[in-house]
Structure 1
Amino acid sequence: MTTLDVEELDDRVVVTLRRPEARNAINAAMAAELHEVCAALEAKPRLLLITGADGTFAAGADIGELRERGRDQALQGINRRVFDRIAKLPLPTVAAVDGYALGGGAELAYACDLRLASPTAVFGNPEPGLGILAAAGASWRLRELVGGSVAKQVLLAGKRLDADDALRFGLVAEVVPAGELITRAHALLDRMSRSGALALRLTKLVADGDGHPLTDDLAQAVLFETDDKRDRMDAFLAGGRS
């Protein structure tokens, strides 16, 4: 890995974006390395934490590379494909955002299931100012996260959401001091890791779907037959905690 620091633990993988010369801007090499991380998590599902080094999450996509890309590269969806893959990972993903998350950096954060922010976090999509659009998921993910009106303010009018805005609009779950951001993100992952892995996986699958009672019933039918369900409910009935 040349653009990422990757720490693999038993129940989670921690990825730190690290391109100090470009404020962690997302280039083709980083996208390729994120695909490698996704492949590992698809083969062995674990929780994922993504953050950025040196007080910046990711200041955008690499403009130097974007300047040279043409129609064929746009149709390849270089960033979109990896962000879609992150969004579809089996177990939950968390973005810990310190500093700027702009352009492609914002879209990477939007693709995660949950986001935590430091007080200096800033989200924005300035792509139209560069003559392009936010084509790696922001045009629809941001609307789902904060609603159509706020999304259009960001996408069309260039509004940037600071940490307070992001919390007020529900884009982030919590704002914590920068020095506590990673610790708090791990605490959130710890809480999720105490849940049943299959229950967590199927809950994410159902929550990300279009919604249908039969889907809920089928997922629940699978879970009702597991030893994990019986063990956890026996512990609860015996006075333990689920």
Structure 2
Amino acid sequence: MSERVGSVRVERRPDRTVVTLDRPARRNAIDAEMVAALHEVCAELEAEPRLLLLTGGTDGIFAAGADIGQLRERGVRDALAAINSAIFARIRALPLPTVAAVDGPALGGGAELAYACDLRVCTARAVFGQPEVRLGIIAGAGATHRLPALVGEARAKELLFTGRRVEAAEALRIGLVNRVVAEPDELPAAAHELLDEIAKASSLALRLTKLAVDAPAAAHPQLDLVSQAVLFTDAEKHRRMTEFLDRRRDR
């Protein structure tokens, strides 16, 4: 059962939350109301960590970008307020892994929203792009640093400089997405299957792994050592390893 929060729908399951962007008349363009709703969801997931599936549904649109009508009227103070980049950074920093399920266009801020998630699954008709320079602005909500991390600096610069769109097959080939499904109706199952695999892991191990992967290079190996030290004292680690050894002994 889903609940409407602003311009998104939220479904809460025992181990995950499913958030569906729901502004179809504006092609799920990211406006202030949607940003506020996503902040509300993030606050909940920070207080009670669960996996997150973020999707636009299977109607052929993920998010067409930021709401251009609102964006056109924003000034210097709005840019410095980091309206979109702050919520994308908050999604990126959520304690447990996040998956974006993308059907159709994910453009501008919509693409940056997908990049903010840890993993991406898409349909064959998905398309990603950063057209900001053609509108006289930069991709200022995460693409300038997240896109190079995903596809490499030279390819990211090409996409950011030209605004060229990337279709699903290329997105998979260059590492922008993790999986592609042929048909839209296969997307929810594929995304949940990926989350099911993640959910088999220790929650604390997932949290510390995500912290380690997202940490700056200078934090390693110290962060890895401290994280492992914490996990070595965790009862869940002892239980899981005991079960593993028992299964091996029973073969």
Please classify the TM superposition score into its range, dividing by the shorter chain length: over 0.9
1:68 pairs with 2:73: yes
Q: 2:110 aligns with which of 102, 105, 116?
A: 105
User: Hey, what's the Cα distance between the residues in 1 that align with 2:156 and 2:112?
Assistant: 12
Give the drift of 1:146.
Answer: 0.3
Q: 1:201 aligns with which of 184, 201, 207?
A: 207
Unaligned segments of structure 2, at least 5 residues: none
Q: 2:16 aligns with which of 4, 12, 17?
A: 12
> How many residues in Structure 1 have an aligned counterpart in Structure 2?
240
User: Hey, what's the Cα distance between the residues in 2 that align with 1:20 and 1:157?
Assistant: 28
Q: Could you tell me which residue of structure 2 aligns to residue 96 of structure 1?
A: 101
Identity, % of aligned positions:
59
Q: Describe the SS at the equivalent of 2:247.
A: coil
Give the drift of 1:2.
Answer: 2.6
User: Hey, what's the Cα distance between the residues in 2 that align with 1:30 and 1:158?
Assistant: 24
1:237 pairs with 2:232: no
Q: Could you tell me which residue of structure 2 aligns to residue 223 of structure 1?
A: 231
Q: 1:186 aligns with which of 192, 206, 210?
A: 192
Give the drift of 1:158.
Answer: 1.5
Q: Describe the SS at the equivalent of 1:90.
A: coil
User: Hey, what's the Cα distance between the residues in 2 that align with 1:3 and 1:151?
Assistant: 30
Aligned residue identity for 2:236: D
1:127 pairs with 2:135: no
Aligned residue identity for 1:216: D
User: Hey, what's the Cα distance between the residues in 2 that align with 1:18 and 1:233?
Assistant: 43
Q: Could you tell me which residue of structure 2 aligns to residue 169 of structure 1?
A: 174
1:87 pairs with 2:87: no
User: Hey, what's the Cα distance between the residues in 2 that align with 1:227 and 1:119?
Assistant: 43
Q: Describe the SS at the equivalent of 1:190.
A: helix
Instruction: State the superposition RMSD in angstroms.
Output: 0.8
Give the drift of 1:148.
Answer: 1.0
Q: Could you tell me which residue of structure 2 aligns to residue 144 of structure 1?
A: 149
Length-normalised TM-score, structure 2: 0.94
Aligned residue identity for 1:8: R
Aligned residue identity for 1:37: V
Aligned residue identity for 1:199: A
Matches within 5 A, 1:22-33: 22-33=26-37
Unaligned segments of structure 1, at least 5 residues: none
Give the drift of 1:213.
Answer: 1.1
User: Hey, what's the Cα distance between the residues in 2 that align with 1:22 and 1:150?
Assistant: 30
Q: 2:40 aligns with which of 7, 26, 36?
A: 36
Length-normalised TM-score, structure 1: 0.98
TM superposition outliers: structure 1 runs of 4+ over 6 Å: none
Q: Could you tell me which residue of structure 2 aligns to residue 116 of structure 1?
A: 121
Matches within 5 A, 1:48-59: 48-53=52-57, 54-59=59-64
Give the drift of 1:162.
Answer: 0.4
Deviations 1:141-197 (A, max 9, x none): 101100111111111011111001100000111101211111110011011111000
Aligned residue identity for 2:190: R
